[in-house]
Amino acid sequence: MKAENDRLKKELAAAGGTQDAQVIIQQDEHSIQQMKLMQEQLEANQREMVEMEKSWEQKLKESKEREIEDERVRKEDEAAMLAGTPHLVNLNEDDMLDRKVVYDIK
């Protein structure tokens, strides 16, 4: 990944640099699109490298935080949906299937 980033940086530098990508008006449209694509690839690779450098504990912590937030949002949505309206909710032993189907009674 580092080798690919270095290659993309060299190609961008040879084509006018990262800062000059939007400034170059004289070049044809195709080369500008190629430079933008290379810049996007470079940024995506850098984001992946940052993600790979995170420790397992950091990833686990972030995952648990997302899980807690998702559960909070789900409970808020469920409370808002069920407030004062008659309904039937499916119950299941499996947490993946529990309370996934709600039938409103009119």
- Same-domain check for residues 47 and 66: no
Q: Which residue has the higher pLDDT, 19 or 100?
A: 100
pLDDT of residue 21: 47
- Same-domain check for residues 49 and 75: no
pLDDT of residue 36: 87
- Same-domain check for residues 7 and 43: yes
Residue 17 pLDDT grade (very low, low, confident, very high; cuts 50, 70, 90): low
> How many Å apart are CA 104 and CA 106, to the nearest integer?
6
Phi-psi sector, 99: left (phi>0), alpha (psi -120 to 50), beta: left
Most confident range (mean pLDDT) of 17-26, 38-47, 52-61 is 38-47
Report in angstroms the alpha-carbon separations of 93 from 2, 75, 87, 98, 102.
47, 18, 20, 7, 16
Where does a domain end: 13, 30, 53?
Answer: 53
- Same-domain check for residues 47 and 61: no
Report in angstroms the alpha-carbon separations of 2 from 5, 47, 52.
5, 12, 12
Whole-prediction pTM: 0.37
Span 47-95, pLDDT tens digits? 888 888 878 788 889 899 999 999 999 888 778 777 777 878 888 888 8
Q: Which domain holds residue 42?
A: 1-53
Domain count, the chain: 2
- Same-domain check for residues 40 and 62: no
- Same-domain check for residues 9 and 43: yes
- Same-domain check for residues 49 and 62: no
Three-state SS at 87: strand
Distance of CA 71 to the CA centre of its chain: 19
pLDDT of residue 84: 75
- Same-domain check for residues 48 and 69: no
Contact 65, 73 (CB under 8 A): no
- Same-domain check for residues 38 and 1: yes
- Same-domain check for residues 69 and 27: no
